[in-house]
Chain A
Amino acid sequence: MEVLVAVVIAVLTSCGVYLLLRGRTFPIILGLTLLTYAVNLFIFMSGRLNPGKSTIIGVGEGYTDPLPQALVLTAIVISFAMTAFVMVLALRARAELGNDHVDGRIKVEDVKS
């Protein structure tokens, strides 16, 4: 289970970082989204994996740490809002600059390179 979760986080992070390094806004936003998924999973795992346990002490045998679940909720809300914002900003940049390159290049040849 630990290995599976670790591999999932690693794959999400590396895909996210790869997409972040692209030159156009759309792949970058996708990359950011993947990265935030990886981060959310990572925060969730910082309380260790205790499958099937309750978050309340005394209900069953053992317990799982509730704090990372609260933290991940905050992180999800914030990253969701930020993604929405950057999406609108990217659309605005596309309209103002005439293309979707992050450096706002004007010529078509520049964008291709």
Chain B
Amino acid sequence: MNHLIIAPVLMPLLTAILLLLGTGRPLRIQRGISFISICLQLGVATALLLSAAEGTISVYALGNWEAPFGIVLVLDRLSALMVFVTAVLAFFSLWYAIRGNDKPADSLHSVVHFLIMGVNGAFLTGDLFNLFVFFEVLLIASYTLLLHGGGAARIKSGLHYVLLNLVGSSLFLIAAALLYGLTGTLNMADMANKVAQTTADEAPLMNAAALLLLVVFGLKAAMVPLYFWLPRAYASASAPVAAVFCIMTKIGIYAIIRMYTLVFGDEAGVVANLAQPWLWPLALVTLGFGVAGALAARELRLQIAYLVVVSVGTMMAGVALNTEQALSATLYYLMHSTWICGALFLLADLIVRQRGATADRIITGPALRQPVKLGALFFIAAAAIIGMPPLSGFVGKVLLMQSATTDERTFWLWFMLLAAGFVTITALSRSGSTIFWRTENRVAKVDKADRGALLAVICMLALSLVLSFGGNPVVRYTDALAQQLKNPAIYTQAVLSHKAIPGVHHD
């Protein structure tokens, strides 16, 4: 049994506890521990990604209890990729944070590690109720992070976020209890087998449970009509927090992909593929609302938050198409949008600091201290998120558009994606030209941007180039990943045939 699989859960947990115990120690030590830990976690995530790339599905039985009775962690290509994406994002966010951006409280680092623990756990677990528990772990950490720094704006958006997610948790429990009542299991692989044998009598209840889960995951993913919490929350959070939060919507996407390919996928009998007809129109509407919000936003960070909604709509469309090619394109786009949105939030913070009292409002303000440097970075980030060649957004969108087989959906997908790209160009050129060009004849009296923080943003944006120029192995990986997703039998077989280590008794 490969013990490395549980490391993405244990390492952040131990780090967070260590950081909590060290409260009151010099900030330098806290930052050091946090950064060393995230570097190690990045190493572990890379090792897991490489081992999953070979195509084997590794199973880790917690407490040596066999599935379907015990809780298992499952490492397949999808969960390995998600853990890796999280580690990279957290690495850069913490890098940015330790350059003096983690004030006022020094508790930021420990809570970020608790969040990473919850996120990694949610990606790795093979048990529906355990997924709920990890959701709660990451949510309680995210509540704290969102309120980090205090202030009326954060409290207000934080209250909405917390209340909505508490209702979401209740719905999750109802859905999980329904599924347990119907199938008698909580292990996802076992549940997939039981769901496939659903009789026509049970179908309505099964439908209700499956679609309730879609509501819960849709809330996490910020899909229309459940996205209203997102823009204000992201815009009011501090920069490293907003960057880390770029993974939050992807947890919803991950859960949707996992549940509706594995449990309610092609082989689920009477309830096969029941979410996709709902996802398709909702994805396009999400896309539309996202670009409308980006166009109407009066603040830079609010605009970026709406771009997160746009990326959610794009990925949902890919999931709704539900072919191997589309899922592969979706996962490629997921990596790109997570990292680039994170970079944009960090960059926005650097820009906002140089604008004095104008802050992030998109109006004429004092000229920036470093207009060329920050302007060039903003241009590159904008080009990446819009989907201009040669950056990764372009590759992601092309892959997604190619994956649409010729039917009436192709027209809508191409139309919405291209229109969204055009509107995003308009929105970002408005904010970019106002912030960098239409300035007053004075420069705000501020310090230059911190070099380390600037380097973090540059490296993050460079990931976009890596994704597009080194795209071949990435796409080969996501192709293999999609193939694995479309053959859920491999997953169920791996989980259910996993044997406990002999000689270890539970007395």
The residues of A with any CB-CB pair to B shorter than 8 Å are: 20, 25, 28, 32, 35-36, 39, 42-43, 45-48, 67-68, 71, 74-75, 78-79, 81-82, 85-86, 89-90, 92-93, 96-97, 102-104
Contacts and interface: CB of A to CB of B under 8 A. Distances in A.
A28 B163 contact: yes
Nearest to A48: B181
A89 B147 contact: yes
Counting from the closest, the 10 A-B pairs by CB-CB distance are A46-B181, A46-B177, A43-B177, A104-B156, A39-B173, A96-B155, A96-B152, A93-B155, A46-B180, A39-B170
Contacts of B166: 32, 82, 86
B274 interface: no
Given A46-B181, A71-B129, A104 B152 contact: yes
25 contacts: A39-B173, A43-B173, A43-B177, A46-B180, A46-B181, A71-B129, A71-B176, A71-B177, A74-B133, A78-B169, A79-B169, A79-B170, A82-B136, A85-B140, A85-B143, A86-B162, A86-B163, A89-B143, A89-B147, A89-B155, A93-B156, A96-B152, A96-B155, A97-B155, A104-B155
Contact of A74 (B129, B140, B156, B163): B129
Given A68-B177, A78-B169, A102 B163 contact: yes
A85 B162 contact: yes
Which of B152, B163, B173 counts the most chain A CB atoms within 10 A?
A: B173
B92 to A, nearest CB: 29
Interface in B160-185: 160, 162-163, 166-167, 169-170, 173-174, 176-178, 180-181
Interface of B: 129, 133, 136, 140, 143, 147, 150-152, 155-156, 158-160, 162-163, 166-167, 169-170, 173-174, 176-178, 180-181, 186
Contacts of B177: 39, 42-43, 45-46, 68, 71
Is chain B's binding surface mostly helix, strand, loop or mixed? helix
A71 B186 CA distance: 11
Contacts of A32: 163, 166-167, 170
A46 B178 contact: yes
Contacts of B174: 39, 42
A93 B160 CA distance: 11
A20 B140 contact: no
Contacts of B169: 78-79, 82
A7 to B, nearest CB: 17
B38 to A, nearest CB: 26
Contacts of A78: 133, 136, 169
Nearest to B129: A71
Contacts of A86: 162-163, 166
